Structure 1
């Protein structure tokens, strides 16, 4: 099921022709009051959110940010304007017509908060968002807790001090990673909204059918996206009413100490276009239809070496890591690294190789043999995830 769900999360970004309309008359055009009430896992500390609302009310420019997987990217909505992020943006524009609105949708199909932590700086925080909605509850695994916390710390610690709201979607049978993510959200006292908590009881009771709001085993149809947006905007309206009754200065609290780890709070991405190989044979910089620029293997026996400065390294590959790693000898500074032998190895596109290296330059080398010709030009490296030492000069 994990493999099947991952393939759906990735493939939905280019899927078409699915049934997008609810199949029964039980589905409501908008969620009822009971659903809306259940959707609020925790209101959290709304100071940052009120600060954004005040900025918008003054007519100042506001940037909304979204980061997540294929659902956030908008997969299986019938058109871009009907995905949940676009509908939240539309509400915002109607609620604050005098404030210029920018939207940064950093949703990326088939990815979770592990890759999200590495790319959030370049893909989202570089645009200085005022509010970020985070949706990774159907893409993550329990092993991603440190990455999820690091992602949130990066967002909350950004120079614009953005507000953050956590959104929990669901896969079939009402599952998601809310049990891992919600305790982290509570630690940072963040608002949390659950599509799963709102709708699953309706499905269990037979008042709503899965196919009314979900196309496959995870992706919402237009109505599902509308519900997800409505849960968020209903919460926003409630906070606005509270704000009107309690006007005052906004004092932002400092971040608490990490609940689990701050390891992923200081990470970044080196894209393929920034690679300067020390040695290469059988690798070429090319462009993937799905991933954009990648360094791809082009012959059966190949080698690739580059230098990077970091205290930890992760590979972000095109496709699953095992297809590359099972045919490669991988070394860091001449020492063999065998990530597939690690007990927590998950076969996906982001593989952490090392996290406790000296904070200096390191040589990363891959030597590949017997690579299948069917994968030439498509399998390789999209980028490197690099860990930084915040205490270093």
Structure 2
């Protein structure tokens, strides 16, 4: 595991003790957002924030939650500035361990996210959180924590703590979660207790902060650190039947806005972007049937992608993100989408949310 650098975290605690103003941020998916908690105040994130309030009553503390359900670190690295970093956080808890798949691709997007946070002007302390699928014990912590260790960043694993106690019979699965993934109020409480216990351990260590370790070179190819999300606010594609969504977006959880809508078969939209990595973000909806679209990259009609707007799960509409170019040649690329004609007149429109490029 190597040495964990607690310099930034100890400085945060020292500043809080002195009564300074600090912003505590949380960034991740549905568990961070508060899914399955009966109220946001019962979520792990808010419980952890309340510990800071109780522990440092003189401090002026501000809370920011950038969780969005069903999203990965690939989307996260493209939105972290607008949904979190613009608030100049002093501490950030990051969790994508049940949304990212355990593979090298998401290890690379996760590293891009972590580097972007660590190098932000406010120089936040970071704690990595590893949630878990309670039915299987699956998560991406092996890949994520390898990145954390590379940057000497601490991490707390629910797989190694709460999940192991559940397996040993201390808790039943249903005491912690109804669906095997999202903690209920008790699950959120136990999750918060693990993070709080770590913070208390750091606070009890009376040693002064050390000089922060030098910032290492990337562990992966790190193509995604400067990822950008392109919506109607950032790019003007050629619209050949698609319409720009004119409804106003209200907050980061008003997710299906600022995109483009294809309502009829044959509608097209064309983008020109300079990148080596491209992904298309579109809505998969539980309102069926839904329209599909054909994607062509650089005019290659032999290798088209079919983007299916029908969502096979039932928990709600999904912000689906599909990579179409990874570590390609960095040059100007043409992305064309065309709505297909196979779902009939009453099908739900095809909603294109963004392109994410790097």
Q: State the TM-score, normalizing by the size of structure 2.
A: 0.84
- Name the residue aligned to 1:208: 171
- Name the residue aligned to 1:64: 24
Tell me, in whole angstroms, the C-alpha distance in 2 between the residues paired with 1:226 and 1:308: 45
Q: Secondary structure at the match of 1:316?
A: strand
Q: Deviations over 1:20-39 (max 9, x none)?
A: xxxxxxxxxxxxxxxxxxxx
Residues 1:88 and 1:337: Cα distance change in structure 2 (over 3 Å): farther
Say yes or no: does 1:247 pair with 2:208. yes
Mean CA deviation greater in 184-193 or 251-260: 251-260
- Name the residue aligned to 1:238: 201
- Name the residue aligned to 2:128: 166
Tell me, in whole angstroms, the C-alpha distance in 2 between the residues paired with 1:222 and 1:339: 45
Query: Displacement, 1:302?
Result: 0.8
Residue 94 (structure 1) aligned to one of 41, 54, 71: 54
Tell me, in whole angstroms, the C-alpha distance in 2 between the residues paired with 1:369 and 1:209: 47
Mean CA deviation greater in 269-278 or 190-199: 269-278
Query: Displacement, 1:240?
Result: 1.0
Tell me, in whole angstroms, the C-alpha distance in 2 between the residues paired with 1:95 and 1:50: 14
Residue 241 (structure 2) aligned to one of 266, 281, 288: 281
Residue 330 (structure 1) aligned to one of 296, 301, 304: 296
Report 1:128-277 matches (<5 A). 128-143=88-103, 144-171=106-133, 172-242=135-205, 245-247=206-208, 250-277=210-237
Q: How many residues align?
A: 335
Say yes or no: does 1:308 pair with 2:273. yes
- Name the residue aligned to 1:380: 351
Q: Secondary structure at the match of 2:98?
A: coil
For the 8 Å contact 2:280–2:355, the answer to whether it is kept is yes
Query: Displacement, 1:208?
Result: 1.3
Consecutive unaligned residues in structure 2, runs of 5 or more: 307-311, 313-318
Residues 1:338 and 1:89: Cα distance change in structure 2 (over 3 Å): farther
Say yes or no: does 1:45 pair with 2:5. yes
Mean CA deviation greater in 209-218 or 41-50: 41-50
Residues 1:247 and 1:137: Cα distance change in structure 2 (over 3 Å): same
Tell me, in whole angstroms, the C-alpha distance in 1 between the residues paired with 2:37 and 2:124: 27
RMSD between aligned alpha carbons? 2.7
For the 8 Å contact 1:339–1:353, the answer to whether it is kept is no
For the 8 Å contact 2:77–2:227, the answer to whether it is kept is yes
Consecutive unaligned residues in structure 1, runs of 5 or more: 1-40, 342-346, 388-393
Query: Displacement, 1:96?
Result: 1.6
Query: Displacement, 1:209?
Result: 0.6
Residues 1:77 and 1:329: Cα distance change in structure 2 (over 3 Å): closer
- Name the residue aligned to 2:66: 106
Query: Displacement, 1:368?
Result: 2.8
Report 1:334-373 matches (<5 A). 334-335=299-300, 338=303, 340=305, 349-356=320-327, 362-370=333-341, 372=343, 373=345
Tell me, in whole angstroms, the C-alpha distance in 2 between the residues paired with 1:291 and 1:337: 31
Q: Deviations over 1:85-132 (max 9, x none)?
A: 111111111112222222221111011111112211221112211111
For the 8 Å contact 2:166–2:173, the answer to whether it is kept is yes
For the 8 Å contact 2:162–2:190, the answer to whether it is kept is no
- Name the residue aligned to 1:344: none
For the 8 Å contact 2:127–2:153, the answer to whether it is kept is yes
Tell me, in whole angstroms, the C-alpha distance in 1 between the residues paired with 2:3 and 2:194: 12
Query: Displacement, 1:207?
Result: 2.2
